[in-house]
Amino acid sequence: MKNLKTRKVLAFCMAAAMMAGVLGSCGGDTESSAPADGSETTAENSGGETSGDGDYVDLIWLSSGSAINEEDTSLVIQELAKQTGIMVQHNYVPTEKWQVLMASGDMEADILEVPSVDRQTLIEGGLIQPLDDLIAEHGPNIQKTMGHAIDYLKEYASYGQNHVYFLQSHQAPDMDVVYDSVPYNYGVAPYIRWDYYEELGSPEINNEDDLLNVLKQMQDAHPTNDLGRKTYAMSLEVTAGMWSYATMYSYYNGFEAVGPAYMVSRDTEDNLHNMLEEDYVLWGAARYYNKAWQLGILDPETFTQKGENVTEKISNSQAFYTENSWNNYNTVLGESVGPEAGFEPVLEAFPYAYAGGTSQYGWGFATAITSTTEHAEDAMKFLDYLYSEEGARLCYSGIEGVHWEYDADGVPAYTQETLDNRGNTEWDKANGLNKFGNWIGIDNMVPASDGYPVDLSQMPSMLKANNTALDEHYCELYNVEYPGQVGKVMEEEREGYKVVWWVGDTGSLMSTVPDEINRVATQVTDIMIKAFPKMIMSDTDEEFEKEKADCMQQIKDAGAQDIIDWVYSEWDAAKEKLATLE
């Protein structure tokens, strides 16, 4: 595949000038400083077939997805080209087209972002090439950043070929840096309408029953919304099947599912528990929602509605509870009600706060170099730059002197221009900060040589700058600077409380689930999906226990023990594999 094209300095300057118009005061030809750690990242030694007049090598990076393809002219992508001599265009194709390309033997690209389900096909079909020699010759930053993760990929991600075929992003060689970090807020947590909570006088909440009673008080205080429509404090959607019931409640009770059908979960000490145990966490989730049902605060449409129905009820103030932050309900409420209406997490209702998932071997996003590219060395040099300190800081935080700068004390911080414009769609598109999150080789919390995170948005001063008027109310109650710090307050003040980072290393080493186990898992899942609404809508404790017992017997008869035995055996084997890599 031929794709060597030239892009002259004039074209770059014209694009930079156009971007400068968007940035206003941020003009000029800004050079990034040399990496303090000695990373090999300059245009001279990282570029492809560049010439003295500034030509670039064009490469195509292909992903399977539905995003709109358009030429990227952001300042960050231009700076990446300037530093590496390589201009990368990131394109997407629908899943169907991706499958057609795999069948054709030519992915029509140089670099791929590879879905996990297609890795074996791409290797065995010869569509991607081994990276061992390329890393050895052109990947000094990859070698430094990934360390023994390279051995992991060779041993356990090459399907018996004993080569490195993929690079995984967000490497964190020192996991303590991740564990000690404090997110801006928690993606999974019990969130409640904070303005309504303040109306009640912010009553003390120490457990899930307290939380449910507070929600009942909110509903009693607001039985209908301004349109006269009935409210339910808790209105959810369960269209994702057992994931909807299992995931949220499990996380903030210190459990994470392992293996198929949610039959087995591990606790924070990596001990396994399963659904044939009476006190399994998933039965606890069903009981939690059943208590809400018996209090009259669970919307009966929970079992039939879709996400857009929940969003409408949230925006109309018909529901006062949600279990994650990624639906951006505060933005919706800010538009429909006002800036001081919205959700904040009540972490003290449960014994754990879920900070996120991580791995010492990087995220599951994997990149590969195609077998048909004529520019494998250039592709590797570009990827290597993304695993350098300078490349990571650039991709996360932008260009030094344009998007961020050092103050008089040597502390890096965003410029006022960046602080004022982050989140503005047009500005974000023109500048490209953190646009390439799935590509970056170093985890955002890892400190650069200056001692500060490569992602400057994770600095406490920057996190505090994100606070809304509602966040300020929340932070005042807990005496913190930004919402994520509340988890650390809970750890200090409550015995046994823990902020959890789930590490996926052991699970990633488990074997592919056999077809027979998958067939049993499908049957078990179908049984549970039908049984859970009945359990949750039980009007008495006795009725709930009967429905639960019936479900346990049905999944046992369907072969649940076979799934459990397979998971326990694989988990032990995976732990042994992991021990050989550490």
- Cα separation, 147 vs 173, in Å, equals 8
Residue 54: its pLDDT value, please?
56
Per the document, the length of the chain is 582
**If DSSP codes are grouped into helix, strand and coil, which group holds residue 341?**
coil
- What burial class does residue 62 get, using C-beta atoms within 10 Å of its C-beta: 0-12 exposed, 13-18 middle, 19+ buried? buried
Residues 6+ positions from 336 with CB-CB distance below 8 Å = 315, 316, 317
Helix axes 329-336, 307-315, angle to 10 degrees: 40
Q: What share of the chain is helix, strand, coil (3-state, %, to 5)?
A: 45, 15, 40
Q: Three-class SS string for 66-82?
A: CCCCCCCCCHHHHHHHH
Place of tokens 């606070």: 467
Strand-strand pairing, 111-114 and 57-64 = parallel
User: What one-character DSSP code corresponds to residue 90?
Assistant: E
Task: Please tell me the distance from the alpha carbon of residue 188 to that of residue 246, in angstroms, as a whole number.
Answer: 12
Distance CA(536)–CA(287), nearest Å, equals: 7
The tens place of each residue's pLDDT in the chain, 582 residues long, gives 434 333 433 333 333 333 333 333 333 333 333 333 444 433 333 333 443 345 899 999 999 886 778 889 999 999 999 999 999 999 999 999 999 999 999 999 999 999 888 999 999 999 999 999 999 999 999 999 998 889 989 988 899 999 999 999 888 777 777 777 888 899 899 999 999 999 999 999 999 999 999 999 999 999 999 999 999 999 999 998 999 998 999 999 999 999 999 999 999 999 999 999 999 999 999 999 999 999 999 999 999 999 999 999 999 999 999 999 888 899 889 889 988 899 999 999 999 999 888 777 777 778 999 999 999 999 999 999 999 999 999 999 999 999 999 999 999 999 999 999 987 889 999 999 988 777 899 988 889 999 999 999 988 888 898 899 999 999 999 999 999 999 999 999 999 999 998 888 888 888 889 999 999 999 999 999 999 999 999 999 999 999 999 999 999 999 999 999 999 999 999 999 888 887
**How far is the CA of 25 from the CAs of 131, 385, 412, 579, in angstroms?**
43, 28, 19, 54
- Whether the CB-CB separation of 412 and 406 falls below 8 Å is answered with yes
Q: Where are the beta strands (DSSP E) in 485-552?
A: 498-503
Tokens describing residue 236: 């959810």
Residue 421: partners with Cβ closer than 8 Å, 6 or more residues away: 427, 431
CB 531 within 8 A of CB 283: no
Q: Could you give phi then psi for residue 354, rounded to 5 degrees? A: -90, 110
